[in-house]
Amino acid sequence: MVSARRSFQGSLPIAAMSRLCEALADDAGLAQYQLDFGRDEFGTAYVEVRVQAPLWLVCQRTLDPFVMPVTVDSRLGLIRSEQEEAGLPPGVEPLLVAEDGKLSPIDVIEDELLLALPLIPVNPDAALPEEVTRPPAEAVPAEERPDNPFAVLRELKNK
């Protein structure tokens, strides 16, 4: 694929990527992808990965599911040993390929989508529930609360 500078494009059901589905709220939708193989000016074999997918995540602010559009655009340097990683140009991530030189395009797409997931998904359109944002009716200063754990320290300071 590298020598022939092949390109592949198409769509892949999100449900076909089992590891990704474990991190999602729903496996609905299609991932649109394009993979371009080639060699750069230094002779390094690479694959350009472009993926767009609507992923269903659970908002950690409201615990409601929402769709987050994810876009991946990365260049992966194809290496056969970890020692080759040092020779990759800046901005190129390593992708360890088996000795036979084969790789699974679905696995590459799935790995890149997994890496694009946010650590803590938050729906940008979600608002905090009212009970979280409104101040309590009986706002008592911290010093006057009877169960203040620092009350003993305040007494020692006043002595």
Tell me, what DSSP letter sits at residue 19? H
- The reported pTM is 0.74
Return the domain boundaries, the chain.
7-129
> What beta strand segments (E) does the chain contain?
7-13, 30-39, 45-58, 65-79, 93-96
- What per-residue confidence (pLDDT) applies to 113? 96
| pLDDT tens digits, one per residue of 74-107 | 999 988 888 888 888 888 899 988 888 788 899 9
- pLDDT, one tens digit per residue, over 17-69 is 999 999 999 999 999 999 999 988 888 889 999 999 999 999 998 889 999 99
Q: Is the pLDDT of residue 144 over 60?
A: no
User: What is the percent of the chain with per-residue pLDDT over 90, rounded to a whole number?
Assistant: 49
Retrieve residue 38's tokens. Answer: 């080639």
**Single-letter residue type at 136:** P
Which residue from 29, 38, 28, 31 is spatially nearest to 9, judged by alpha carbons? Answer: 31
